[in-house]
């Protein structure tokens, strides 16, 4: 069964460093998302991406964040200068159309020290 | 306002029993999706139910949707120890053009052998 894959599964980084979280969505999907879950809290929406551009972003998704789909298969989330409060599990999701199932990856646990 | 709130927050049952958890939401939705998350892991898609549907089944899972009450329920029948996980509902609101979800805080289910 097709699945969304995310790498790395765990990343530890120093405060102020840049990190790139990688995702390979399901191949025929058109809508892509990043969510995050701070330990013990709800899963929160960060950004949606369609037709090679950001379609919607939350207040969390400030200038430190960016997304890219560089080659038609990968979908990346970059955090330019990480803060301690960026420590969370980051999930990538994809779906083939609106109002259909959205499939999530296994997540990348980001720890900022 | 909070969208997609589950109750109970925690549920402890014996193997073989049924587990029922509920999700309430505040604004009109296109669909509601249920996900399972094993401790610290990824979000596994269980069932999607659209606003024009009232009930869906998948194996031991049964989901209902009552749009007049703005609520959904997830029933796991004949539970197993492997069903131990957190269960989340995620709503896609009609006002959202790009299909983002709002997640509830989840119901933590523990099934003891």
Enter the tokens of residue A105: 């990856």
Cross-strand pairs, A104: A93
Which residues are CB-contacts of A34 (< 8 A; sequence separation ≥ 6)?
A21, A23, A46, A47, A67, A77, A90, A91, A92, A93
Residues in chain B whose Cβ is within 8 Å of chain A: 30-31, 33, 35, 40-45, 48, 50, 88, 90, 92, 96-106
What pLDDT, on the 0 to 100 scale, is given for residue B7? 85
- Spatial CA neighbour of A7 closest among A101, A77, A87: A77
How many domains does chain A contain in total?
1
Q: B5-112, superfamily in CATH?
A: Immunoglobulins (2.60.40.10)
Residues of A in contact with B99 (CB under 8 A): 31, 33, 48, 95, 98-99, 102
User: Between chains, do A55 and B97 touch, taking CB under 8 Å as contact?
Assistant: yes
Q: How confident is the model at residue B3 (pLDDT cuts 50, 70, 90)?
A: low
Enter the tokens of residue B34: 């249920």
Q: Which one-letter DSSP state was computed for residue A26?
A: -
Instruction: Give me the CATH number covering residue A62.
Output: 2.60.40.10
| Distance between start and end Cα atoms, chain B | 38
Kindly report, residue by residue over B65-80, the tens digit of the pLDDT. Answer: 999 999 999 999 999 9
Query: In terms of residue numbers, what domain contains A63?
Result: 5-98+105-112
């Amino acid at each position: 069964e097709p699945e969304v894959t995310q790498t790395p599964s765990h990343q530890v980084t120093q405060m102020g460093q840049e990190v790139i979280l990688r995702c390979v969505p399901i191949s025929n999907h058109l809508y892509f998302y990043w969510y995050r879950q701070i330990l013990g809290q709800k899963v929160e929406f960060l950004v949606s991406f369609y037709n090679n551009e950001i379609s919607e972003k939350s207040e969390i998704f400030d200038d430190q964040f960016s997304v890219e789909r560089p080659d038609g298969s990968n979908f990346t989330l970059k955090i330019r200068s990480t803060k301690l409060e960026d420590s969370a599990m980051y999930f990538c999701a994809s779906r083939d159309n609106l109002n259909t199932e959205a499939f999530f990856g296994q997540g990348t646990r980001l720890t900022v020290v | 306002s909070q969208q997609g709130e589950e109750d109970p927050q925690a549920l402890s049952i014996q193997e073989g029993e049924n587990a029922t958890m509920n999700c309430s939401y505040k604004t009109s939705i296109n669909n509601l999706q249920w996900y399972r998350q094993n401790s610290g892991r990824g979000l596994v898609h269980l069932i999607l139910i659209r606003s024009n549907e009232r009930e869906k089944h998948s194996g031991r899972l049964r989901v209902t949707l009552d749009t007049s009450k703005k609520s959904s329920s997830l029933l796991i029948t004949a539970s197993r120890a492997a069903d131990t996980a957190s269960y989340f509902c995620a709503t896609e609101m009609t006002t959202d053009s790009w299909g983002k979800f709002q997640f509830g805080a989840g119901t933590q289910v523990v099934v003891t052998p």
